[in-house]
Amino acid sequence: MKIDLTGRVALVTGATGELGRAITRTLAGCGARVAIHYHSAADRAAALQSELPGAGIFQADITSKAAIDRMRDAVKAQLGAPDIIVTNAVIQYQWTKVLEQSPDDYRSQFESCVLQNVLMAQAFLPDMIAKKRGRVIAINTECAMQNTPNQSAYVAGKRGMDGVLRVLAREVGAHGITVNQVAPGWMVSENRPAAGRPDSYREGIPLQRWGTDQDVANAVAFLASDLAGYISGVYLPVCGGNAMPAI
């Protein structure tokens, strides 16, 4: 068995970030034609496109319905309607305690976690329904289970996103569309090395090592493939066992 996405079109939001690049490269390596979404990092989008023959780059504000609809139309015109959407983009902000966190930060997390997934589904799932197949893969976080101090806005956004996606999985399953979430831990990558990070975090991971963005990308590729055709509604931690959903 191998993961073969030949003939599929995959759109990754936030594709120019560290994790986004790993996911995009991996899906392309499995044979998919990739649509590289970016918000403001046009230079990084162009550099990634140059690595991946046949890829397209598309700018959009993922909190705007009009912008997402324009991106949908542009992707369809250039690559065809996506079979796979990966909602990876998120707005960055400064974490602090609930009593000190700005209300604007809660709004930003709602918009980039909950609203992004709603707008992406409304824009792209009608074509999947027409084709009777599709994959929605959202990037969540282990933080949604841990609820540790200073994470409240991020956790609120990701837990809200979880609820929307579980309902969506039930609503579109009959059309051959799966909806799943991948929840990374604190991963390392080329520009985010393990050096300088607290040993206490790594020591608490059952696998006793740092995970990488490639570990997350591998899980996304699996869920995007026919091998995962009977898996839907899943929240899948990719964190070495640091978060363990219970039954």
DSSP H helix total and E strand total for the chain: 9, 7
Distance CA 60, CA 69 (A): 9
Distance CA 183, CA 113 (A): 13
Q: How many residues does the chain have?
A: 247
Distance CA 26, CA 6 (A): 13
The count of C-alpha atoms lying within 13 angstroms of the C-alpha of 169, restricted to the half-sphere facing its C-beta, is 20
Tokens of 6: 């030949």
Distance CA 179, CA 136 (A): 5
- Say whether 154 is catalytic: yes
Catalytic residue, candidates 38, 154, 201, 230: 154
Tokens of 23: 């996911």
Tokens of 231: 């898996």
Report angle CA 96, 194, 150 to the nearest 5 degrees.
Answer: 10
Q: Taking the mean position of all CA atoms in its chain, how far away is CA 184?
A: 10
18-29 vs 42-51: helix crossing angle, rounded to 10: 20
Active-site residues, by number, are 154
